């Protein structure tokens, strides 16, 4: 009987050890637990986590809201280029310019190149098609953009035409070639935003972006390595490191290294099913504290995440930016962009150091 009891105890000990190991592995995958949420400990982690300072040429998109503008005003010395957003081509093909004078003044004081973003309003597909293929709209928009850049003595333009019909791929190349030719004659630079691709997919949202042609035409190609998981998808990392590497490798096979700018996210999402809502770092952190949950860092993806109830949250901290930027630098690319300034962990600016 004593031997039987001993065997039972031994089996129980093995079972408890096995369960503990499995629990530990589950805790470490897909991330490792950072901190419990309902105290100052989680905030203390983000204030004290060790960070590496990285020298990069930083391209930051600054939106018209005060949160974004104020972040730029505070950290302008970290930027190489600033791209104020808000200038659009509307449904009638009319260009409307919008640049905050505070951004312009701070940029010039800090010797930051001003490269305003110009978008098709609402990323409207039919409007993108008209801009590129209707000869009258094409001419008017091009003239307006050139006048806007030259008369304000900006350094150049950042074209952000999105949701372009894939069949307009050639028309986009033609538009950018002509626009670049005119702006180059004025000594201005031309940049374009494209989604992250791991192969030359000519269909869907990114089908119109021809990496190779745009890399020849433009001074810089800003590759948006975010929204891998997005507001309409299932929950998951927004710019995972594995995908980032694949995008960078494809870009290097088609675009000259010195022309590549890799865009990374400063933001997060909170999902309920396939319905995601954007979050700033501050909002993600406050929510984690308020709902008393555990926050994980997925070192594989380079992002923080947690869940509560039926919700799942993924977001970026300064460590996320360090991991993504160091990955990009490992490929010999020194230009980083971020969407968008004002949403970030304040300690991001301890990571970003302006490269001469």
Task: Let me know if residue 303 belongs to a domain.
Answer: no
Torsion angle, alpha carbons of 322, 324, 325, 327, to 10: 120
Q: Which of 106, 109, 123 is nearest to 69 (CA)?
A: 106
Task: Determine the structural domain holding residue 62 and report its residue range.
Answer: 52-265+318-354
- Dist CA 156 CA 136 (whole Å): 23
Task: Let me know if residue 280 belongs to a domain.
Answer: no
Q: Is 224 left (phi over 0), alpha (psi -120 to 50) or beta?
A: beta
- As separate numbers, helices (DSSP H) first and strands (DSSP E) second, the chain gives 12, 18
- Dist CA 222 CA 259 (whole Å): 9
State residue 10's pLDDT score.
Answer: 56
Task: Let me know if residue 89 belongs to a domain.
Answer: yes
Q: Under DSSP, is residue 81 helix (H, G, I), strand (E, B) or coil?
A: strand
Task: Let me know if residue 165 belongs to a domain.
Answer: yes
Q: Which of 247, 235, 242 is nearest to 315 (CA)?
A: 235
Q: Which residues pair with 298 in a beta bridge?
A: 303
State residue 291's pLDDT score.
Answer: 94
**What are residue 82's phi and psi, to 5 degrees?**
-120, 135
Q: Under DSSP, is residue 16 helix (H, G, I), strand (E, B) or coil?
A: helix
State residue 32's pLDDT score.
Answer: 67
Angle CA(51)–CA(54)–CA(56) in degrees, nearest 5? 150
CB neighbour list of residue 10: distance below 8 Å, 6 or more residues apart: none
State residue 20's pLDDT score.
Answer: 43
On whether the CB atoms of residues 312 and 270 are closer than 8 A, the answer is yes
State residue 12's pLDDT score.
Answer: 52
Task: Let me know if residue 350 belongs to a domain.
Answer: yes
236-249 residue pLDDT tens = 999 999 999 999 99
Task: Let me know if residue 215 belongs to a domain.
Answer: yes
CATH number of domain containing 189: 3.20.20.80
pTM summary value: 0.91
CA neighbours within 13 Å on the CB side: how many for 172? 31
**How many domains is the chain built from?**
1
Torsion angle, alpha carbons of 284, 75, 49, 328, to 10: 90
- Dist CA 264 CA 238 (whole Å): 9
Task: Let me know if residue 219 belongs to a domain.
Answer: yes
- Dist CA 81 CA 97 (whole Å): 18
Task: Let me know if residue 312 belongs to a domain.
Answer: no
Regions in the chain scoring below 50 on pLDDT = 1-4, 14-28
């Amino acid at each position: 009987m004593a031997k039987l009891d001993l065997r039972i105890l031994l089996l129980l000990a093995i079972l408890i050890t096995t369960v503990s190991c499995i629990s530990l592995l589950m805790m470490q995958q897909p991330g490792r637990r950072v901190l419990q949420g309902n105290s100052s400990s989680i905030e203390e982690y983000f204030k004290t986590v060790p960070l590496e300072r990285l020298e990069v040429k930083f391209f930051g998109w600054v939106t018209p809201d005060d949160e974004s503008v104020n972040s730029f005003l505070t950290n302008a010395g970290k930027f190489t280029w600033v791209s104020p957003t808000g200038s659009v081509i509307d449904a009638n093909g009319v260009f409307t310019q919008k640049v905050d004078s505070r951004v312009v003044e701070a940029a010039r004081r800090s010797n930051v190149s001003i490269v305003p973003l110009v978008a098709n309003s609402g990323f409207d597909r039919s409007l993108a098609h008209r801009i590129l293929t209707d000869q009258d709209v094409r001419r008017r928009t091009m003239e307006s953009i050139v006048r806007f850049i030259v008369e304000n003595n900006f350094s150049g333009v950042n074209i952000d035409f999105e949701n372009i019909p894939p069949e307009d791929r050639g028309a986009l190349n033609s538009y950018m070639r002509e626009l670049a030719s005119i702006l180059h004659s004025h000594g201005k630079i031309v940049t374009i935003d494209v989604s992250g691709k791991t192969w030359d997919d000519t269909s869907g949202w990114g089908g119109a972006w021809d990496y190779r042609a745009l890399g020849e035409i433009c001074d810089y190609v800003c590759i948006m390595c975010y929204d891998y998981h997005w507001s309409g998808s299932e929950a998951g990392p927004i710019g995972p490191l594995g995908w980032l590497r694949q995008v960078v490798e494809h870009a290097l096979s088609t675009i000259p290294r010195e022309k590549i700018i890799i865009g990374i996210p400063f933001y997060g999402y909170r999902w309920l099913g396939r319905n995601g809502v954007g979050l700033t770092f501050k909002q993600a952190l406050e929510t984690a504290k308020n709902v008393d949950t555990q926050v994980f860092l997925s070192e594989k993806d380079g992002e923080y995440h947690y869940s509560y109830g039926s919700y799942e949250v993924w977001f970026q901290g300064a460590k996320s930016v360090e991991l993504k930027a160091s990955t990009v630098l490992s490929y010999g690319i020194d230009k980083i962009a971020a969407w968008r300034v004002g949403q970030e962990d304040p300690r991001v600016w301890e990571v970003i150091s302006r490269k001469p």
